[in-house]
Amino acid sequence: MRKSLLFLLFLISSIYGFATNEIIESQFLPIECATTYVQTTAMLREGLIDINAFDSYDYLQDSDGILYAANASESLEAVCLGLIEAPNEYANITIKEEIIFNGKSYNVVEIANSAFFDCTFLQNITLPATIKKIGFRAFAGCTNLESVIFPESLQIIETEAFVNCYKISSVYIPKNVTTLGDDNNKNVFLCCNNLQHIKVDKNNKHFDSRKNCNAIIETSTNTLITGCSYSKLVEGIESIGFRSFKQMADLYELNIPSTIKSINATAFDGCPNINYISVSKRNSVYDSRNNCNAIIETATNTLCIGSNKTVIPTDIVKIGACAFCGRTGLLDIVIPNSVQMIREFAFEGCFYLRSVILPQNLKEIYPAAFKNCSMLSKVIIPNSVERIWEEAFMNCTDLYSVSMPNSVIQIDDSAFRDCDNLVNSEF
């Protein structure tokens, strides 16, 4: 009976929009309403939040339609679960610092996983001084989010918390942040391609933005984990991490310092306008021999990162995974006969690549090597190739002619999928 009465009061307050600065008992949301929330909220439809994780919590809604889960334990802490509804007029949202229920005050310490997932109307979010953790993909896909200010209380930002927040231009990491992402992906601002200003509090013991590099460096490993189009690769950085510059459209030039020892294959994935690359002559791991406009791993003669203006040297034996991924200014490329291997995604997304000359010593064309090269029209497979892997030329929509030699033993099913204009194949 009590639950039914409370639910009725909740519905009335929702319809008439009673405003209050505090959570009151009449706004308690019974568990059956939380089930409805699971069924109707976009992020939960995607299965991104497990409501059972808050099964022992009480549910409360504030006057702005934001749902909280309150834990009546000794800690008296609450978690923000997001909006029950997502009206377009909610451009600016303030998360409550505390909520009141049954005469008890609960500090809001966490934004739940995917709490505001895909809230494309959201422009500004105000976080309270009590927040310690921002969950996995908490603001992912908030494509109009322009501003978020992190409180000093913040300690953890989980993986991809702000992925695809295209309008965020400035980020400041406070001193108490200890964790960004996870071991596999520490760039919590993945694909935030409007980022222009990045700074870490000078008293942070785990991360830094040394020498005004305009990037986030993991201090203990000297790894750059988040960069932007205006970052500087300064001396002292030893590694460039997973997708740290992904889709930075205004990144035109790379200057690799002498201290860099490791570059993740995906570090510059989808950066369309990289035109110039140089490597310090004092670097013992990489070089840019013959002014080739590329990064070469010296010991293995592997081209790791290419640009729109790369000329591949004649002593290169391998083109690495994702080497030219997303270089939309790359129109033509000659791959010398010294190259024996073209790894997966090497030229994926080179939309305007019109022609490619493949080397005569090539044995295999790896998965998605030329996927989404939509303007590639003709390919001559050399008679050294034995296998063409899945998706190797997938979605090359202008491809109309492929010359296939007798040396090819295996063509995977999806190798030429969605090549709708492919009418001329010579075997």
The full set of domains in the chain, from first to last, is 1-154 (3.80.10), 169-248 (no CATH), 252-427 (3.80.10.10)
> What pLDDT does 274 receive?
98
CA distance 68 to 27: 11
pLDDT tens track, the chain, 427 positions: 334 333 333 333 343 333 333 444 444 343 333 333 333 344 443 445 555 666 667 778 777 778 888 877 767 899 998 887 655 567 888 999 998 877 788 899 999 999 999 989 999 999 999 999 999 999 999 999 998 999 999 999 999 999 999 999 999 999 999 999 999 999 999 999 999 999 999 999 999 999 999 999 999 999 999 999 999 999 999 999 999 999 999 999 999 999 999 999 999 999 999 999 999 999 999 999 999 999 999 999 999 999 999 999 999 999 999 999 999 999 999 999 999 999 999 999 999 999 999 999 999 999 999 999 999 999 999 999 999 999 999 999 999 999 999 999 999 999 999 999 997 665 4
CA distances, 94 to each of 9, 62, 148 (Å): 24, 11, 11
399: which residues sit within 8 A by CB, 6+ positions away?
376, 377, 378, 379, 393, 416, 419, 421, 422
Structure pTM?
0.87
